[in-house]
Amino acid sequence: METITTHLIRETERRILGESIPRIKQSLGLLTVEQIWERPNAEMASIGHLVLHVCGNARQWVLHALCGQPDVRDRQSEFADQEPLTQEELIRLLDELASDLQVALPQVQETMLLATYPVQVFQENGVAILVHAIEHFSYHAGQIARDTKRMLRIDLGFYADLDL
């Protein structure tokens, strides 16, 4: 039987695993390492930093807070200057996250969605955690797509196969 839990998990999978991660990976595949790590200005993160950030955020909010896995996030390092990771290394991080989410999300039960969890400085219920994860991933995937379009002056064709 279809439940609201089933629908919410399916939508989370669709938006993060089926849309945001593939779109980020598409951008990474088009850019050079230099373009990936270019900071538009001192107040903005590079595409590489945003990839680290969305992975860290999803791990902390979904895998840790909601699903009970250890909290391994170091948020400050997501934005720190570092030896640049390659496209392949960043894609591997996204693939590992996707794999971990594919295992964890189907285990989420209605009681977990209704319970409240500490995450960062917040107290959030399971529904709010998943909604946050979807919107956060989508927000930064959009930034990455926009930066890619700006740098390469191309259309990424996300909807090219649809007659909108």
pLDDT tens sequence across 88-104: 999 999 999 999 999 99
Q: Taking the domains of the chain in order of start, what are their residue ranges? A: 4-152
As a CATH number, domain 4-152 is: 1.20.120.450
Classify each residue of 126-143 as buried b or exposed e, where b means 16 or more C-beta atoms within 10 Å of its C-beta. Answer: bbbbbebbbebbbebbeb
Place 126 in a pLDDT band, splitting at 50, 70 and 90.
Answer: very high
pLDDT tens sequence across 97-124: 999 999 999 999 999 999 999 999 999 9
